[in-house]
Chain A
Amino acid sequence: MLSFQSSKNVLSLTEDLLVRIYELLAAESDRKSFRLVCREFRRIDSLTRRHLRVIRIEFLPILLRKYPRLQSLDLSACPRIDDGVVSLLLTRVGPGSNSPSLGHWAWGLKSLVLSRATGLRFSGLEMLTRACPCLESVDVSYCCGFGDREAAALSSAVGLRELNMDKCLQLTDVGLAKIAVGCSKLEKLSLKWCMEITDLGIDLLCKKCVDLKYLDVSYLKVTNESLHSIASLLKLEVLGLMACPLIDDVGLQFIERGCPSLKVIDVSRCEGVSSSGLIYVVRGHRNLLELNAGYCLSLSTALLHQMKNLNHLEVIRIDGARISETSFQVISANCKSLVEIGLSKCVGVTNMGIMRLVSACINLRVLNLTCCHSITDTAISAIAYSCRSLVCLKLESCNMITEKGLCQLGSFCLLLEEIDLTDCCGVNDKGLEYLSRCSELSCLKLGLCTNISNKGLSYIGSNCLKIHELDLYRCTGIGDDGLEALSNGCKKLRKLNLSYCNAVSDRGLAYIGRLEELSDLEMRALHKITGVGLEAVAVGCKKLADLDMKHCEKVGDSGFWALAYYSKNLRQINLSYCGISDMALCMVMGNLSRLQEAKLVHLSNSTVEGVELALRACCARIKKVKLFAPLRFMLSSEILEILHARGCIIRWD
Chain B
Amino acid sequence: MDLKERVCDELQKEVPKGASSTNFNTQHQQKWEDPSSTLDYSTRIEPPFQAFNQTCQTQSLLLCNNQIKVPMQDGSINDLLQQASKIQDWDPSAMLNNLSFLEQKIHQLQDLVYLIIAQKGQVLGRPDELLVQQQQLVTADLTSIIIQLISTAGSLLSSVKQTLSAATTSLGQCGEFGGVVFPSSAQRLNDGVQPQNAGGSKVSEPQNSIDITSNNGNEQNNHIVEEHELKDEEDAEEGENLLPGTYEILQLEKEEILAPHTHFCTICGKGFKRDANLRMHMRGHGDKYKTPGALAKPTKESSSEPTIIKRYSCPYAGCKRNKDHKKFQPLKTILCVKNHYKRTHCDKSYICSRCNTKKFSVIADLKTHEKHCGKDKWLCSCGTTFSRKDKLFGHITLFQGHTPAIPSDEIKVAPAGTSDGATNKVGSVNFNLSSYVSSESEVQSSSMDIKGGIDDAVGYFSPLSFDTCNFGGFHEFPRPPFDDSESSFAFLLSRSCNYSQKSGEE
Contacts and interface: CB of A to CB of B under 8 A. Distances in A.
Contact of A149 (B390, B401, B403, B408): B408
Nearest to B393: A200
B406 interface: yes
Given A173-B389, A177-B396, A200-B390, A182 B406 contact: no
A207 B400 CA distance: 11
A181 B401 contact: yes
Interface residues of A, number: 17
B432 interface: no
Interface in B367-411: 389-390, 393, 396-397, 401-404, 406, 408-409
Contacts of B409: 152
Contacts of B403: 152, 155, 177-178, 181-182
B404 A177 contact: yes
Contact of B393 (A152, A155, A204): A204
Interface in A139-187: 148-149, 152, 155, 173-175, 177-178, 181-182
B406 A149 contact: yes
Interface residues of B, number: 12
Contacts of A204: 393, 396-397
B366 to A, nearest CB: 29
A177 B397 CA distance: 9
A155 B403 CA distance: 10
A203 interface: yes
A201 to B, nearest CB: 8
Nearest to A179: B403
Nearest to A175: B406
Given A149-B406, A149-B408, A177 B401 contact: no
Nearest to B378: A174
Contacts of B390: 200
A200 B389 contact: yes
A121 to B, nearest CB: 12
A175 B409 CA distance: 13
B67 to A, nearest CB: 60
Nearest to A148: B406
Nearest to A200: B393
A173 B397 CA distance: 13
Contacts of A207: 397
B119 to A, nearest CB: 71
Instruction: Tell me the interface secondary structure of chain B in the complex.
Output: helix
A155 B404 CA distance: 12
B396 A181 contact: yes
Contacts of A182: 403
Interface SS, A side: helix
- Which of B390, B397, B401 is the most central at the interface, judged by chain A CB atoms within 10 Å of its CB? B397
Nearest to A204: B393
B406 A152 contact: yes
A177 B406 contact: no
A113 B185 CA distance: 78
Contacts of A155: 403
A207 B397 CA distance: 7
A163 to B, nearest CB: 16
A31 B467 CA distance: 83
A174 B180 CA distance: 60
Contacts of A152: 403, 406, 409
A58 B417 CA distance: 41
A174 B406 contact: yes
Interface in B253-281: none
Contacts of A175: 406
B393 A178 contact: no
B391 to A, nearest CB: 10
Nearest to A176: B404
Contacts of A149: 406, 408
A193 to B, nearest CB: 21
A596 to B, nearest CB: 29
Contacts of B401: 181
A212 B328 CA distance: 52
Contacts of A178: 403-404, 406
A173 B408 contact: no
Nearest to B408: A149
A177 B408 contact: no
A517 B408 CA distance: 48
Interface string A206-228: 01100000000000000000000
A174 B395 CA distance: 13
A208 B402 CA distance: 11
Contacts of B396: 177, 181, 204
B388 to A, nearest CB: 10
Nearest to A155: B403
A147 B396 CA distance: 19
A204 B401 CA distance: 13
Nearest to B404: A174
A173 B409 CA distance: 16
Interface string A327-368: 000000000000000000000000000000000000000000
Contacts of A177: 393, 396, 403-404
Contacts of A200: 389-390, 393
Contacts of A173: 389, 393, 404
Nearest to A201: B393
A203 B393 contact: yes
B88 to A, nearest CB: 64
Interface string A45-59: 000000000000000
A102 to B, nearest CB: 26
B483 to A, nearest CB: 42
A208 B397 CA distance: 7
A147 to B, nearest CB: 9
A181 B406 contact: no
A175, A200, A207 interface centre (most CB from chain B within 10 Å): A200
A149 B407 CA distance: 10
Nearest to A184: B400
Interface string B115-148: 0000000000000000000000000000000000
Nearest to B399: A181
A155 B389 CA distance: 20
A203 B390 CA distance: 10
A207 B409 CA distance: 25
A39 B397 CA distance: 56
Nearest to A152: B406
A291 B396 CA distance: 34
A425 B136 CA distance: 115
Interface centre among A152, A174, A208 (most CB of B within 10 A): A174
Contacts of A208: 397
A181 B393 contact: no
A85 B409 CA distance: 24
A229 to B, nearest CB: 11
Contacts of B389: 173, 200
A175 B390 CA distance: 14
A404 B409 CA distance: 69
Contacts of B404: 173-174, 177-178
Contacts of A174: 404, 406
A208 B398 CA distance: 10
Nearest to A203: B393
A181 B397 CA distance: 9
Nearest to A174: B404
A629 B402 CA distance: 49
Nearest to B398: A207
A207 B396 CA distance: 10
Interface string B208-234: 000000000000000000000000000
Given A152-B409, A174-B404, A181-B402, 16 more contacts: A149-B406, A149-B408, A155-B403, A173-B389, A173-B393, A173-B404, A175-B406, A177-B393, A177-B404, A178-B403, A178-B406, A181-B401, A201-B393, A204-B393, A204-B396, A208-B397
Interface of B: 389-390, 393, 396-397, 401-404, 406, 408-409
**3 tightest A-B CB contacts, nearest first:** A174-B404, A181-B403, A200-B393
16 contacts: A148-B406, A149-B408, A152-B403, A173-B404, A174-B406, A175-B406, A177-B403, A178-B403, A178-B404, A181-B401, A181-B402, A181-B403, A200-B389, A200-B390, A200-B393, A207-B397
